[in-house]
Amino acid sequence: MMNANAISKTNKTANFWKKVKQVLTYIYQEYIKFPAYILIHPLKGFDAFKRDKKAKMSVSLVFVAMLIILQILEFQYTGFVVNQRDLNDLNSFQEMAYVIVPILAVVVGNWSVTTLFDGKGKMKEIFMMVCYSLWPLIMTKIVGMIFSNAITTEEAGFYGLIIGLGTFGMGYMIFFGLISIHEYGLLKCILSIAGTAIAVMVLFFIVMLGFDLFQKIIGFLYTLYREISLRYL
């Protein structure tokens, strides 16, 4: 009986560590190895991304969530040498908007422009491509946050360099991602980027007009309510 119990416990332990190993392997393959492969070999990587369906929506959403969390953590944990922000100014919803709104604007703007430029990418593919392209920025933000707590004022430029490399890597991946996703040449890709920038500006302009109109309608209804309540209530 003792031997049977011991064997059962051993099997459970073995199965547990096997599952842990599978989870860690999945995390490494999907969240580190494949994004790093795209960064190093962008054309081959994004070809596998599109044709072999190696990209996953769940991974894309995790990258967005990670960037949002890092945006919030930077307020508190970035070293004081490079962090002049007041914790009392932290607004989590605002930090979420700083990540989500630009991503959605770029995706919608690029999709609307590339439909006119015979782009082959679907909106879902564009969204996932942009999310995967956040990987270098996420990695450098983590490194930068740690590094910022161990530097002096004279070394603050290195922090900017680290974040700059992440931003460049993100732009680099988006550029080659557009070429692969839409099956564009170099010139057509550059034109689509210019068109996307214009579309994003137009989109923000329309949203701002809509928001301003919404505020005026709310103000009018509130004024109307006050007039009625003062006269008749």
- pLDDT (tens digit per residue) in 126-157: 999 999 999 999 999 999 999 888 888 888 88
pLDDT > 70: percent of the chain: 94
Q: Closest Cα to residue 92, out of 65, 63, 59, 58?
A: 65
d(CA 128, CA 149) in angstroms, rounded, equals 33
224 — alpha (psi -120 to 50), left (phi > 0) or beta? Answer: alpha
Distances (CA, A) of 115 to 110, 130, 183, 200: 8, 17, 13, 15
Residue 102 CB coordination number (10 Å):
13
- Whether 165 and 35 have beta carbons less than 8 Å apart is answered as no
The pTM of this model reads 0.84
Residue 123 tokens, joined: 């909106």
Axis crossing angle, helix 42-51 with helix 156-182, rounded to the nearest 10? 50
| pLDDT > 90 in the chain, percent | 38
Give the pLDDT score at 1.
Answer: 47
Q: Give the residue ranges of the chain where pLDDT is below 50.
A: 1-2
